[in-house]
Amino acid sequence: MAIDHVGMLFFPEQLLLRVIGRVSFPLFAFLIAEGFEKTSNARNYLFRLLTFAAFSQVPYVLFIQAAGVQYIRLNIFFTLAAGLCILILLKRCSHWFSIPSAAGILLMAYYLPFDYGPYGVLMILASGLLLRFRSVGLFALFLLHIAETLLSFFTGVLSLQLFAMMSIPLLMRYNGEHGQPLPRRLLYWFYPAHLLLLWLIWYALTHIRP
């Protein structure tokens, strides 16, 4: 993620940095699905994501505007929260309520400027499938990456999301066991902190004269 953002802001012509960064979101999507399976309080989990979505929005807007994005988007925590919300609905509520609600959230991700849009939300659902039905989940992830790439191609937009499939071998190696844990707050705070730090470096390089 940080490599992707460094490339986006300082070296936009170096596609290799952006390609490497394509691996990050599928891993985050998987961690959300895995966290949902293991959490004892899904509501608190969702509230935590939304809280950090609010904290991260200003640093995110500063960052993307510095990178030349002319319109305001919602940061990745909103996408992660939307995916988690659908997982909660599908598990806790009846199909008569959860499926229309999930469709409404996907429409919201399409019409509002969510980072990664419905594709990002669906990746979290596919990650949930991967945890329960390995082959089905892997196939769903593969189809998502292909569909996003083809859609971008036919709309005339260059997309590097095909390289997100590099994450699939990493996900296939997951065995359900935890590695060396990192402090949870560090993981959440890193996102807004590194965006703000990159923006400050950019501002110093472009606005402060020696």
124 contacts 32 by C-beta, under 8 angstroms: yes
The closest alpha carbon to 191, from 15, 31, 19, belongs to: 31
77 contacts 1 by C-beta, under 8 angstroms: no
Instruction: Write out pLDDT tens, residues 3-49.
Output: 889 989 998 888 888 888 888 899 999 999 999 998 989 999 999 99
pLDDT on residue 12: 83
Tokens of residue 199, six digits: 């923006």
Which segment of 4-8, 48-52, 111-115 scores lowest on mean pLDDT? 4-8
Q: Check pLDDT > 70 for residue 79.
A: yes
The model's confidence at residue 177, banded by pLDDT at 50, 70 and 90, is low
The closest alpha carbon to 34, from 98, 118, 165, 130, belongs to: 130
pLDDT on residue 58: 97
pLDDT (mean) for 157-173: 77
